């Protein structure tokens, strides 16, 4: 498969519903895409501005301060002590890594790439780009022999599902049984809401209680887009098995996949400041507390969604029917059809809208219910 063989970008199919929503007298409430709307923290912008004299080529491996900041962050925020700079590598956002990882690992026809059943579509795109076979499976016992790469996503996009320590341990055991690299996409790990995740740290696949004393065959992926409103900076990183990290570093050097020096400096500032992360989480919590009851009052059931940036909801009808109904209220969601074939009756609603727009959506849902 080549780039030319990729299907049309799926969000183009949402355009008619967006047009309907925009026609609402009070304007559209766009909850379809998780693009941050809140300001980038001052501490990050100051660091970026101070680093604008970037006359030399940046380092693909990341500056020493950045690698140390990533190591410190895993120990402080994710319960993963003992990492070394050789365990970490910055990436140009996380989406390019998800899409390119099968290529960078030299996967190809005959190889299997496992991804979640409710999944961000780029996992499948990356597999198909190299001619590998994507398989949607959540249960580790369903991961086939011969699998080369397994993606898990915790908290999940779109469904907000969290893999607890026990489930992660079983995933690690199974991946090692079949000789697969296990990569955990953990981009929403700072956004826990319900059950144990309201107060506890969402576990990483690199947690010593999960990994079993070795990082062999394990990678964790993280992005600062959501926790720090840095989507426009393309600031992300991976950590884990040093042999795999070294292999990816070599490939990325050849391909010129390097973060601009000012962005690396901004990441150091973001990773070292927990206060702005807590403040952003409270913004999302407040929006969630407004939107969820209004959505449920309108007849939707919210499934999973115990963490992350979205509400994963269904009313027992085809997602396109739900999309049309919400669009008539000026609300734009994302259809479950975009996240695999297993959830055609679900929609995804993002919390990345302003307080005013979230309140407007809730008011429209309540008014339509009464």
- What Rg, from alpha-carbon coordinates, does the chain have? 20
Closest residue by Cα to residue 137 from 161, 119, 122, 120: 119
Is 55-273 a domain of CATH 3.40.50.300?
no
The tokens for 295 are 């959505």
Q: How many helices (H) and strands (E) does the chain have?
A: 12, 13
Place of tokens 């604008």: 52
Torsional sign, CA 192, 196, 200, 202:
negative
Q: Which residues pair with 114 in a beta bridge?
A: 135, 150
HSE-up of residue 219 (Cα within 13 Å, Cβ side): 28
The CA distances from residue 292 to 311, 342, 359, 361, 370, in Å, are: 8, 23, 11, 10, 17
Q: pTM for this one?
A: 0.95
pLDDT tens for the chain, residues 1 to 370: 555 455 566 778 999 999 999 999 999 999 999 999 999 999 999 999 999 999 999 999 999 999 999 999 999 999 999 999 999 999 999 999 999 999 999 999 999 999 999 999 999 999 999 999 999 999 999 999 999 999 999 999 999 999 999 999 999 999 999 999 999 999 999 999 998 998 889 999 999 999 999 999 999 999 999 999 999 999 999 999 999 999 999 999 999 999 999 999 999 999 999 999 999 999 999 999 999 999 999 999 999 999 999 999 999 999 999 999 999 999 999 999 999 999 999 999 999 999 999 999 999 999 999 7
**Cis omega before residue 158 (within 30°)?**
yes
Pairing of strands 235-240, 346-350: unpaired
How many Cα atoms within 13 Å fall on the side-chain side of residue 305?
A: 20
**pLDDT at site 8:** 60
| Residue 353 per-residue DSSP state | S
Q: Name the residue with tokens 């990533």.
A: 70
- Number of Cβ within 10 Å of residue 345's Cβ equals 17
User: Which residue ranges make up each domain of the chain?
Assistant: 3-39+276-369, 55-273
State both tokens at 7: 């299907």
Strand ranges (E), the chain = 29-30, 88-92, 112-115, 133-136, 147-153, 181-185, 218-223, 235-240, 301-303, 310-314, 331-332, 334-335, 346-350
Angle at 345 between CA 157 and CA 121, to 5 degrees: 35
Q: Which long-range contacts (CB under 8 A, 24 or more apart) does 102-105 make?
A: 102/126, 102/127, 102/129, 102/130, 102/132, 102/149, 103/129, 103/130, 104/247, 104/248, 104/251, 104/252, 105/148, 105/149, 105/181, 105/247, 105/248
Q: Would you call 153 helix, strand, or coil by DSSP?
A: strand
Q: What is the DSSP string of 214-249?
A: --TTEEEEEESTTTSS-GGGTEEEEEE-HHHHHHHH
Judged by DSSP in three states, 320 sits in: helix
Q: Which residues pair with 135 in a beta bridge?
A: 114
Q: What is the CATH T-level fold of the domain 3-39+276-369, as seen in this structure?
A: 3.90.1150
Phi/psi zone of residue 131: left (φ > 0), alpha (ψ -120 to 50 degrees), beta? left
| Spatial contact of 71 and 217, defined as CB atoms under 8 Å apart | no
Cβ within 8 Å of residue 57, ≥6 positions away: 258
Q: Got the DSSP string for 83-95?
A: --GGGEEEEETTH
Q: How high is the pLDDT of residue 9? A: 61
**d(Cα 218, Cα 100) in Å, to the nearest integer?**
17
pLDDT attached to residue 5: 57
Q: Do domains 3-39+276-369 and 55-273 have the same CATH topology?
A: no
Residue 3: predicted pLDDT: 56
């Amino acid at each position: 498969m080549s780039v030319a063989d990729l299907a049309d970008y799926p969000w183009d199919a949402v355009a008619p519903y967006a047009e309907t929503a925009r026609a609402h007298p009070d304007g559209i409430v766009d909850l379809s895409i998780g693009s941050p709307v809140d300001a980038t923290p001052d501490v990050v912008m100051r660091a970026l501005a101070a680093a604008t004299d970037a006359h030399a080529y940046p380092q693909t491996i990341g500056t020493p301060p950045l690698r140390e900041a990533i190591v410190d962050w895993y120990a402080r925020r994710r319960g993963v002590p003992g990492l070394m700079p050789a365990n970490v590598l910055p990436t140009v956002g996380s989406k390019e890594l998800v899409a390119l990882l099968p290529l960078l690992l030299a996967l190809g026809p005959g190889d299997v790439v496992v991804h979640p059943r409710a999944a961000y579509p780029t996992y499948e795109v990356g597999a198909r780009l190299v001619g590998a076979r994507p398989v949607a499976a959540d249960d580790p016992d369903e991961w086939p022999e011969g699998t080369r790469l397994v993606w898990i996503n915790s908290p999940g996009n779109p469904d907000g599902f969290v893999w607890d320590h026990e489930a992660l341990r079983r995933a690690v055991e199974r991946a090692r049984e079949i000789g697969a690299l296990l990569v955990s996409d953990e981009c929403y790990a700072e956004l826990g809401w319900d059950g144990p995740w309201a107060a506890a740290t969402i576990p990483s696949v690199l947690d010593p209680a999960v990994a079993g004393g070795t990082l062999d065959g394990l990678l964790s992926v993280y992005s600062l887009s959501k926790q720090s409103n840095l989507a426009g900076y393309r600031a992300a990183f991976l950590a884990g098995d040093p042999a795999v990290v070294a292999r990816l570093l070599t490939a990325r050097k050849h391909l010129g996949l390097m973060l601009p020096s000012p962005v690396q400096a901004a990441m150091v500032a973001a990773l070292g400041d927990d206060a702005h992360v807590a403040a952003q989480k409270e913004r999302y919590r407040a929006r969630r507390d407004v939107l969820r009851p209004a959505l449920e009052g309108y007849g939707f059931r919210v499934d999973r969604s115990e963490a992350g940036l979205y509400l994963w909801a269904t009313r027992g009808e085809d997602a396109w029917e739900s999309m049309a109904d919400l669009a008539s209220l000026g609300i734009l969601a994302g259809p479950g059809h975009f996240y695999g074939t297993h959830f055609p009756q679900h929609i995804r609603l993002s919390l990345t809208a302003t307080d005013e727009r979230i309140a407007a959506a809730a008011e429209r849902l309540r008014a339509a219910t009464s």
